[in-house]
Copies of this chain bind each other. A is one copy, B any other.
């Protein structure tokens, strides 16, 4: 339906949505073959490199866990029917369940069943990465309808030393300073809370790949928490180069955009996101940093403290489909994916072009007409472009960047950039 290189050029967002649907059936966790399949699929679009981090390796306060893979899992009634089946949904098994094969009464079985009474038709998503146990997740309506019986319970999983796998792509720009774009890849069959971020990140990487970039860009496709911690622990020398960044997650639902600030709160990336959201004229929400959420928790831990925020549409926990089987492919909308991509591109354009100019004729206003920058007949009011020329000249005393001027003037970014180019060509501004 779409070519591999279509993600960023397809204005409908359907190419990204297609990638979401391709990734949806894969059974992912924080380690295992599901991650490898996921990264291979992303490699159809962008030249990711993958990294395998061995089980048992100490990464800061954590240890890479045993690798988890699962072949089959089910609950069978005594009549032999698979009433709960991994093949129906990857969510049915608590992630990282240890292997089990037993027969249990209903009462015994219920100790291992998780359901969500608030969303009785949905299968909830539960994990137990670090305490060895097993369990099944089922719709609450199914749970309450289960009859007294002897059930056959089977989880054919393997937990053994192996690797944690993550993907990485670095696009070299003119500077070694980096922008970090990170998304998590560890959720099984959850579309908005996982796959939407992957699709937009891959599209953004495609968009940036062949451009002349001020910054270098590092894209991380990592399992949540342990993946970002592993990357940080194994790449400490690289951390100092990261000047800006954001996490992409839940970027495919129909809700309005949300930006969560970095721990620094007023970092350049925070201001760039807020400015572009404001300029769009659409509804949006900006929330302060909090230490709960996605991998910005790790990037913004006190010893790391990067300028990394998080871009979402409806935040985790604020949409009823969150962490249930209702967060499926149809919950994610092509137009929302595209809008999210466009907003990320707009914000990166601010970061790329946010330089400081110095007015070369700072005593009074320069005579713009002599530089072809003034319309001949006076007496009328100024348009945005004229105002951009005047704001740039007035504020460019060496202390104000283009973003400072944009925030103060409220003018559109493209017009300010265009005016800055014209003033620089006229030798009225010089880049600091």
Interface residues, chain A, with chain B CB atoms under 8 Å away: 59-63, 94, 114, 124-131, 133, 135, 225, 228-229, 232-233, 263, 288, 290-292, 297-298, 300-305, 317, 323, 359, 361-367, 369-370, 374, 376-382, 386-387, 390-391, 393-397, 408-409
**Inside 8 A of A125's CB, which chain B residues have their CB?**
379
Closest Cβ of chain B to A261, distance in Å, is: 12
B364 touches A301 (CB 8 A): yes
The complex places the Cα of A130 from the Cα of B301 at a distance, in Å, of 60
Q: A127-B379, A131-B369, A359-B302 are in contact. Are A291 and B390 (CB under 8 A)?
A: yes
Closest to A230 in B: B364
Contact pick for A394, options B61, B291, B362, CB 8 Å? B291
Top 5 A-B residue pairs of the complex, sorted by shortest distance between their CB atoms? A303-B362, A291-B394, A302-B397, A291-B390, A303-B363
The complex places the Cα of A268 from the Cα of B278 at a distance, in Å, of 32
A61 touches B367 (CB 8 A): yes
**Inside 8 A of A363's CB, which chain B residues have their CB?**
60-61, 232-233, 301, 303-304
Closest to A317 in B: B381
Closest to A304 in B: B363
Copy number of this protein in the oligomer? 3
**Inside 8 A of A359's CB, which chain B residues have their CB?**
302-303
Closest to A358 in B: B302
Contact pick for A382, options B233, B288, B292, B305, CB 8 Å? B292
A376 touches B128 (CB 8 A): yes
User: A61-B363, A291-B395 given. 15 additional CB < 8 A pairs?
Assistant: A61-B361, A61-B364, A94-B377, A126-B378, A126-B379, A229-B365, A232-B363, A290-B387, A291-B387, A292-B386, A292-B390, A300-B394, A301-B362, A317-B381, A323-B380
A302 touches B395 (CB 8 A): yes
Closest Cβ of chain B to A326, distance in Å, is: 14
The complex places the Cα of A409 from the Cα of B387 at a distance, in Å, of 39
Closest to A361 in B: B61
The complex places the Cα of A409 from the Cα of B365 at a distance, in Å, of 40
Closest Cβ of chain B to A135, distance in Å, is: 8
Closest Cβ of chain B to A322, distance in Å, is: 9
Closest to A124 in B: B379
The complex places the Cα of A396 from the Cα of B225 at a distance, in Å, of 20
The complex places the Cα of A228 from the Cα of B362 at a distance, in Å, of 14
**Inside 8 A of A128's CB, which chain B residues have their CB?**
376-378
A362 touches B129 (CB 8 A): no
B364 touches A304 (CB 8 A): yes
A387 touches B292 (CB 8 A): yes
Contact pick for A298, options B291, B292, B298, B364, CB 8 Å? B364
Closest to A132 in B: B376
Contact pick for A367, options B130, B302, B367, B377, CB 8 Å? B130
**Inside 8 A of A367's CB, which chain B residues have their CB?**
61-63, 130
Q: A114-B377, A291-B390 are in contact. Are A365 and B301 (CB under 8 A)?
A: yes
The complex places the Cα of A394 from the Cα of B370 at a distance, in Å, of 56
